Copies of this chain bind each other. A is one copy, B any other.
Amino acid sequence: MNQSAIARSWVEHANGHSDFPLQNLPLGIFSRGSDERRCGVAIGDAILDLDAVLAAGLFDGQARNAVQATRGGALNAYFALGREARVALRERLLELLGADSPHQAALKPALYPAAECQLHLPARIGDYTDFYVGIEHAKNVGKLFRPDNPLLPNYKYVPIGYHGRASTIRPSGTDVRRPNGQTLPAGQTEPSFGPCARLDYELELGIWIGQGNAMGDAIPVAQAGEHVAGYCLLNDWSARDIQAWEYQPLGPFLSKSFISTVSPWVVTAEALEPFRCAQPARPEGDPQPLAYLLDPRDQAGGAFDIELEVLLLTERMREQNLPAHRLTLSNTLSMYWTVAQMVAHHSVNGCQLQPGDLFGSGTLSGAKPGQFGSLLEITEGGKVPIELASGEVRRFLEDGDEIILRARCKRDGVASIGFGECRGKILPAH
């Protein structure tokens, strides 16, 4: 199949290099001016208002049920419906937005320029769990503390994760207030209090949970995919100096809970299907996963080939009209555990997952320079500064710096899709 065989939309912008061609169709929650929040689908540089399309009578059956569940300003009820409803809606949207659609005239009034809309969180987040499945990140960080033995003994058996703070997850574009906190300055034995001096980003894949489980019932790994509603980008902003002082013995807390940022569009499993691939073979000598984490279909096609990118734009770079500096070019293939394994592990003790819960993958770094997903790794804990075209250097983030995460899926003969941006700019501490 060549590019010309790829289905096109009558929304012309979707046929270019947009993150949102006809093959993507991610849902999100948006508003215009002071209008109520409602559900839209991203298509090229526009947003199709599903409420308006519903009112125009262009949905029926399962697709209509799905759209009705998207109402009310959050997608939780829609996430709870599961795969069948999601696929029905996708198929109808492919008809409505495809180049041959007979409904163009009826749909145009429901199509708004994305630039005129405000994007919100797609769901009310019940619980947020941050995993640590990026093995190269775990190695890079482990090396800073244990050069000879970077990975702890449990890493290759346990999809390590911890509970994060749900109340401070915000959509792309929300400013990031530099946190205050306790830190232990080098060489001191007593802590100081003040603004974080080692503010960092973390590049992660976000996973939105769909159908939940009852407390006490584990989700088998073979069924875990049915419990995932979609994917986004996640910046797990981190205050490294606060983290170093607070995190023993119970893990990161205030060093992470000041804000986490997500990209607002929920990219579906169906859109990502062409970019599925086998889980990379475990290196010689690595143990097999325990049985509750092992499913042949998941091993054969449970990983993703998604290119991930992080850009930095400083105040001075904006003033000088310089292009953003690429900090990271990485890939989801660095995940040591699949999303299905994360779901199965999380629920194996009977923990209840609910529609609208969010998982973070953990930082997705590659093994080589240029692929590291945090400044902690890039600058070796602040020792090796980055030089920017503006003449500035960075060890950690400064006030006014903006971090932009992007993701892109590419495969020959298939429409390339993206995730939209996940941005945040640092404001000075209070």
Contact = CB atoms under 8 A, between A and B. Distances in A.
Interface stretch (A10-18, A213-221, A263-271, A403-411): A213-221
B430 A216 contact: yes
A346 B254 contact: yes
Nearest to A350: B258
A127 interface: yes
Contacts of A28: none
A162 B251 contact: yes
B430 A353 contact: no
Interface string A278-319: 000000000100111000000000000000000000000000
A246 interface: yes
A292 B246 contact: no
A424 to B, nearest CB: 13
A67 interface: no
A354 B167 contact: yes
**Which of A193, A217, A242 has the largest count of B CB atoms less than 10 A from its CB?**
A193
A147 to B, nearest CB: 16
B246 A127 contact: no
A259 interface: yes
Interface in A150-182: 152-154, 157-158, 160-168, 170, 177, 179-182
Given A158-B246, A218-B180, A127 B167 contact: yes
Nearest to A252: B250
A162 B165 contact: no
A127 B257 CA distance: 11
**Which of A130, A163, A292, A430: most chain B CB closer than 10 A?**
A163
A248 interface: yes
Interface string A175-199: 0010111101000011101000000
A352 interface: yes
B349 A254 contact: yes
A57 interface: no
B248 A348 contact: no
A107 B390 CA distance: 75
A276 B258 CA distance: 32
A193 B127 contact: no
A98 to B, nearest CB: 40
A61 interface: no
A193 B291 contact: yes
A33 interface: no
B250 A167 contact: no
Contacts of A259: 215, 350
A190 to B, nearest CB: 7
A408 B106 CA distance: 68
A242 B349 contact: yes
A346 B291 CA distance: 39
A193 B153 CA distance: 16
Nearest to A430: B216
A170 B215 CA distance: 10
B430 A191 contact: no
A157 B161 CA distance: 26
A245 interface: yes
A167 B353 contact: yes
A419 interface: no
Nearest to A181: B349
A391 interface: no
Nearest to A167: B352
B254 A348 contact: yes
16 contacts: A127-B166, A153-B189, A158-B191, A160-B246, A163-B163, A163-B165, A168-B350, A180-B218, A181-B349, A182-B290, A191-B290, A216-B430, A218-B430, A254-B345, A254-B346, A257-B349
